Amino acid sequence: MSKHTLATLVAGLAILILLPFTQSNYGVFVLCSWLVYSISAMGLNLTLGYAGQVSLAQASFMGIGAYTTALMTMAGVPWPAAMIAAMVLCFVIGFLLGYPALRVQHHFLAFITLAFNALVVLMLRNEEWLTGGTYGIVGIPRPELFGLQTQKPLAFYFFVLALFVLMAVALYAIIRSPWGRAFKALRENPIRANSLGVDIRKTTLLAFAIGSSYGGLAGSLLAQLTQFIDPHSFGLTISLKVLLMVIVGGAGFFFGPILGALLIVLAPEFLRFTEGYYLMIYATLVIVLMVFCPTGLLGLVERARTALKLRQNPNATTWEAGR
């Protein structure tokens, strides 16, 4: 990592630490949702952006994580155990959901994961004895850390921020490791990867499992943030929202989903003054971005950088010429 990148990261972290102090309780809540959705989108970015496996089920893993955490903590299980259980459960279910991906790809896989999301929502709605049905679960406790309550918005914000940083670092380590290389190879050319010794079976399943466990943790945090969950919070529209975060930010870029989540969580706040036109403006912006830059905002940044490099030194790279 270059000094420049490191300085940017430190500055970014400093902003994340100081920013909530300038915000109202509502502002802190919005920041928390941004970080929570970022964790979920980071997971989907691994599955979709790096490993190339389409999934429309990320919200269902958030749901599984949220309900697991809610039910366990309300039954008296300590919150760390409940959160780890949520992640492990999502890892296992994500691993199993990866099996169809060994047979089908692209839009077929999209439909399978979409159906899975619908199935999870139905179960959350219909198994009233466990999930409270459409009424959901109310009064989910927030964690207590070394005798410190996170009931207050600021305290909870720092709890979420700590986990966000931890998960980002973990993801960065995975992406940089040979596993990350194998994930990208799976995305770019599974047949060639297989002939070079990459076990594409295991790699595919792990891409789903790890991505899903990130969804599980995000759901777990969402349950604690809102202290109320219902099946509606984990429907297909939420999966599409997380997908949009990944795509808008830039799939396969490390900071893509974080930037995407920022835009998509904050857009309603900024566009509030437009009142009824909010959704129309939002949809138009997404269409324009996708038409002109399908690689997302960070893809746009990379394109600009390459263009700049080429202008400074026309022989610097053959990247554009080779396309």
Where along the sequence are the contacts to other proteins (CB under 8 A)? 174, 176-179, 181-182, 184-185, 188-189, 191-202, 252, 317-323
Whole-number Å distance between alpha carbons of 306 and 317: 8
Nearer to other proteins, 19 or 200 (CB): 200
Q: Are 200 and 179 in contact (CB under 8 A)?
A: no
We find the least distance from the C-beta atom of residue 147 to other proteins, in angstroms, to be 33
Helix (H) or strand (E) holding 308, with range, is helix 296-312
Q: Which is nearer to other proteins, 99 or 277 (CB)?
A: 99
The least CB distance from residue 309 to other proteins, in Å, is: 12
Which of 149/177 has CB closer to other proteins?
177
- The residue among 23 and 306 lying less far from other proteins, judged by its C-beta, is 306
C-alpha to C-alpha distances, 32 to 159, 164, 198, 230, 234, nearest whole angstrom: 10, 10, 38, 19, 17
> Which residue reads 């109310």 in tokens?
138
Q: Cβ contacts of residue 148 below 8 Å, gap of 6+?
A: 155
3-state secondary structure of 254: coil
CB 293, min distance to other proteins, A: 16
- 271 DSSP assignment: G
CA–CA dist 68, 196 (Å, integer) = 40
Considering beta carbons, is residue 18 or 191 the nearer one to other proteins? 191
By beta-carbon proximity to other proteins, the closer residue of 147 and 178 is 178
In the complex, what is the shortest distance from the CB of residue 47 to other proteins, in angstroms, rounded to a whole number? 17
Least separation in angstroms between residue 202's CB and other proteins is 7
- Give the type of residue at 83: M
Say how far residue 243 (Cα) sits from the centre of its chain.
8
Q: Indicate the helix (H) or strand (E) that contains 267.
A: helix 256-270
Owner of token pair 């190879």: 185
DSSP class per residue in 189-223: -HHHHHHTT--HHHHHHHHHHHHHHHHHHHHHHHH
When the beta carbons of 75 and 321 are compared against other proteins, the nearer one is 321
CA 268 to CA 299: how far, in whole Å?
24
Least distance from C-beta 136 to other proteins, angstroms?
37
Phi-psi region at 192: left, alpha or beta (left = phi > 0; alpha = psi -120 to 50): alpha
Cβ closest to other proteins, residue 182 vs residue 229: 182
CB of 38 to other proteins, least distance (A): 23
* Least Å from the CB of residue 139 to other proteins: 39
Q: How far is the CB of 161 from other proteins (least distance, A)?
A: 25
Distances (CA, A) of 66 to 25, 27, 39, 226, 238: 22, 22, 14, 11, 14
Query: Of 117 and 203, which has the nearer Cβ to other proteins?
Result: 203
